[in-house]
Chain A
Amino acid sequence: MAGVLQAAKNSITLKGSAEIVAEFFSYGINSILYQRGIYPPETFSRVQKYGLTLLVTTDNELKTYLNNVLMQLKDWLLDKTVEKLVVVVTSIDTQEVLERWQFDIECDKTMAEDSKPREKPLKEINDEIKAVIRQITASVTFLPLLEENCSFDLLIYTDKDLEVPETWEESGPHFIAKSEEVRLRSFSTSIHKVDAMVCYKNAD
């Protein structure tokens, strides 16, 4: 019965919420890489998601790197130890940080893996995510043109005492020296809340 399905589709478990958030980042980060020209457009292919046409990379090395980060992120979302995910865009030539996409993550600490699921319509969550992604793509209207060859890195802010796997190292936060900051939208699964914001180098 639609009713039953509906219920299932509106029940968000901790695990389910982590999946939704990780999936958002997968599409969101791909969006940023495409938008800001960090990888050549021809290395992206179109997919439908959230009722939008999104571009995702076909570059195998890149896909592997993204997977590695997002799988670990999912674990930390379950642990509720992650605080932010940041996409740092750096000029290859001058080593200067040009853009910084920051996503603050709030986890409802009372939620555990076996807790009773929260009720929130999946459609509503997807609409919120859709709005965030549209804002990311629309940001080109105010972001300065990235003229130089850039590379990116994904930073994750976690609890100080969290034990991280050997492949993960401590990093600096890579602030931007003279920056403009813009708060973007947010979305919530009712268990995890994600706030988006972008920081970019003040175009002289």
Chain B
Amino acid sequence: AELSQLKASTPAPAPNPVNSQEVDMLRKKVEDLEKDRQKVLEEKEILETRVEQRHLQGDYDPTRTKVVHLGVNPTMLARQQRQAELERLREECEKLRQRLRAAEEGGSADVTASILH
């Protein structure tokens, strides 16, 4: 009699079904998060590689860094010189044209002929 009473009132000593569910859920969640984390890490790595290449090429964060140089520098001087050369040549051409007009008027008619050779 007592035994059947005991048997009737004792639940089976199996893994707690509520805890089991939670553990499964948590285990799955961890798996998902780790997959997700892996994916985000890979995406981050790809971006980092991209940024790294840009870095080698001289890229920078303009909110924290700026690039400066001496206003008067060899490249700027070279550019000026090139421009001055154009000016100088234009002036020289003008002077030569002036002298040519003089020569063309002053000279006799065969001067114009000699230009053609």
> Which chain A residues have a beta carbon within 8 Å of chain B's beta carbons?
62, 65, 68-69, 83-84, 86, 88, 90, 92, 95, 100, 102, 151-160, 162, 164, 167-176, 179, 181, 183, 197, 199
Contacts and interface: CB of A to CB of B under 8 A. Distances in A.
Given A65-B73, A151-B78, A152-B74, A86 B58 contact: yes
Nearest to B58: A173
Nearest to B73: A153
Interface of B: 53, 56-60, 62-79, 82
A26 B31 CA distance: 56
Contact of B69 (A151, A169, A176): A169
B74 A62 contact: yes
Contacts of B57: 100, 175-176, 179, 181, 199
A86 B60 CA distance: 13
A95 B79 CA distance: 9
B69 A153 contact: yes
Do most interface residues of chain A lie in helix, strand or loop, or is the interface mixed?
strand
A48 B41 CA distance: 50
B69 A156 contact: yes
Give the 8 A-B CB pairs with smallest separation, nearest first.
A151-B78, A181-B56, A153-B75, A151-B75, A169-B71, A171-B69, A168-B68, A153-B73
Contact of B60 (A90, A100, A157): A157
10 contacts: A65-B70, A151-B79, A155-B68, A159-B66, A168-B68, A168-B69, A168-B71, A170-B66, A173-B67, A175-B58
A19 B108 CA distance: 74
A169 B66 CA distance: 10
Contacts of B74: 62, 65, 151-153
A197 B56 contact: yes
Contacts of A181: 53, 56-57
Given A68-B70, A69-B70, A158 B75 contact: no
A174 B53 CA distance: 15
Of the listed residues B60, B62, B75, B79, the one surrounded by the most CB atoms of chain A closer than 10 A to its CB is: B75
Contacts of B79: 92, 95, 151
Contacts of B56: 102, 181, 183, 197, 199
Contacts of B67: 86, 155-157, 170-173
A173 B59 CA distance: 8
A175 B76 CA distance: 17
Contacts of B60: 83-84, 157, 173
A86 B67 CA distance: 10
